[in-house]
Copies of this chain bind each other. A is one copy, B any other.
C-alpha cells in the first residue's frame, strides 16, 4: 500500500459500516485504522468480524476516535439525529468526513455541518455510493450528449424495499428521535439525488409532494413521493417506500434519447452493471415494431462502487494532507442540493401538499 494511505476511523458499528469496512482496504488508498462504539465489546467484535488489522485501534467511545491524532478521516454511519453533533466535532478535530446520508435532519443542520467542514478545511463527502460507479460516468456522458440525448424533459425515479414488521416498528430509520426523515431520508435521498443527477444538478424551482404519504404509528414517513418542477418546464417525479418490493428505477427522457435502468443505486452484480439507452427511437412502417430499438450497455469495474467512493474520498484527503490542496467543493454542494430538495418535500407534506419554492 502507498505511503500516503489514509487512516480511517469509523464511528459506530452500523450494518452499513460493514460494507464500508470491506470497501476501505479494497480501495487500496485507505486503512481500517480505528473503530469506536459506545460499547468497547461491540467495537472489538466489529473489528474482529470486519477484517480490521490486529494493529487497529478499538475504542469504547466516539470521542477517542476523534482524539486519535493518527486518524486522518472518519466514516460516520450514525443515526441522522446524531450527525450534527459528531460531524461538527469531527470537523473541529480536523478529521475529513465521509458521512452517511441523509446528511442532516433538515437543511439548517446540513448547513451547520458543511460550514464546520469548510471552516476547518476538511473534505466532506456523503455516502452516496452509486455516484462513484463507472457506469454513472458513462450514463452522464450519454445524458450530456446533445446529439444523442438532447435536452432532459422528464425524469422518474423509484426506490422501495419491503421492510418487515420489526423494521417498521423498531429500526433506527423509522424512529422519530433517531431518523425522523424515515423513508424519505433513507430511500428518498437516492431518488432525489438521481433526479438532480439527471438534471446535471440544476435545482428545481419548486417541489410538490404527492398525496397519500404513509406514516408509521410514531408519525415517521414510510412511503411518499413528489414532483419536482424546473423553470424551463422539466419535470421530475419520484416514489420511495419501505412497503414494496425492492425496486430502483431511473428513467430519464430527453428530446432525442432515453435512459433506463432498474438498479441505479446498487447494481444487480458487483463487477458489471448495465443501462439501456435509446436514441432517436422510432417505429417501423405501420408501427409494427421499433427502429432503432434501445440498446444495452455494460460497464465493468474491478472494485465495487463503495470502494471507488472511498478511493475518491481518499484521493481528495491525500491531496489536502500531502499537497496542501483545498477541499473539493463538488461533494458538499451535491449533498446540500439533495438536502435542500428533501427538505422541501418534507415541508410540502407538512403544509398539505403545497408547492414549496426552492431557495438556494
Cα distance A262–B281 in the bound complex, in angstroms: 12
Q: Does A108 contact B (CB under 8 A)?
A: no
Cα distance A188–B133 in the bound complex, in angstroms: 35
Query: Per-position contact with B for A245-269: 1 when CB-CB < 8 Å, else 0?
Result: 1110101011111101011001111
Q: Does A239 contact B (CB under 8 A)?
A: yes
Q: Does A328 contact B (CB under 8 A)?
A: no
Q: Does A333 contact B (CB under 8 A)?
A: no
Interface residues of A (CB under 8 A from B): 18-19, 22, 150, 153-154, 156, 158, 160-162, 206, 208, 210-212, 214, 223, 225, 227, 229-230, 233-235, 237, 239, 241, 243-247, 249, 251, 253-258, 260, 262-263, 266-270, 276, 278-283, 286-290, 293-294, 304, 355
- Residues in chain B near residue A282, CB distance under 8 A: 246
Cα distance A226–B179 in the bound complex, in angstroms: 31
A/B interface sample: 13 pairs, CB < 8 A: A154-B158, A156-B156, A161-B281, A212-B234, A223-B233, A225-B235, A241-B253, A244-B255, A262-B276, A266-B283, A268-B293, A268-B294, A288-B304
A128 → chain B closest CB, angstroms: 14
The quantity of this chain's copies bound in the complex is: 2
Starting from the known contacts A260-B262, A263-B290, 15 additional A-B residue pairs (CB-CB under 8 Å) come to A153-B223, A160-B253, A162-B280, A210-B229, A211-B235, A212-B233, A212-B235, A245-B254, A245-B278, A246-B283, A246-B290, A247-B251, A268-B293, A269-B289, A270-B289
- Residues in chain B near residue A256, CB distance under 8 A: 162, 245
A63 → chain B closest CB, angstroms: 28
Q: Is the CB of A210 within 8 A of B239?
A: no
Q: Is the CB of B290 within 8 A of A268?
A: yes
Q: Is the CB of B254 within 8 A of A227?
A: no
Q: Is the CB of A355 within 8 A of B211?
A: yes
Cα distance A243–B254 in the bound complex, in angstroms: 8
Cα distance A212–B225 in the bound complex, in angstroms: 17
- Top 9 A-B residue pairs of the complex, sorted by shortest distance between their CB atoms: A246-B281, A244-B253, A247-B258, A153-B244, A19-B286, A268-B290, A270-B288, A154-B239, A245-B258
- Residues in chain B near residue A225, CB distance under 8 A: 154, 227, 235, 237
- Residues in chain B near residue A281, CB distance under 8 A: 161, 245-247
- Residues in chain B near residue A230, CB distance under 8 A: 212
Q: Is the CB of A237 within 8 A of B278?
A: no
Q: Is the CB of A158 within 8 A of B253?
A: yes
Cα distance A255–B162 in the bound complex, in angstroms: 7
Cα distance A109–B281 in the bound complex, in angstroms: 34
- Residues in chain B near residue A18, CB distance under 8 A: 286
Query: Given A267-B289, A268-B289, A245–B235 Cβ distance below 8 Å?
Result: no
User: Which residue in B19, B210, B233, B268 is a CB contact (below 8 Å) of A235?
Assistant: B210
- Residues in chain B near residue A229, CB distance under 8 A: 210-212
Q: Is the CB of B289 within 8 A of A266?
A: yes
- Residues in chain B near residue A243, CB distance under 8 A: 153, 255
Cα distance A162–B153 in the bound complex, in angstroms: 11
- Residues in chain B near residue A286, CB distance under 8 A: 18-19, 22
- Residues in chain B near residue A237, CB distance under 8 A: 156, 210, 225, 227, 237, 239
Query: Considering only CB atoms, which chain B residue lies closest to A157 in the complex?
Result: B156
- Residues in chain B near residue A249, CB distance under 8 A: 156, 251, 260
- Residues in chain B near residue A153, CB distance under 8 A: 160, 223, 241, 243-244
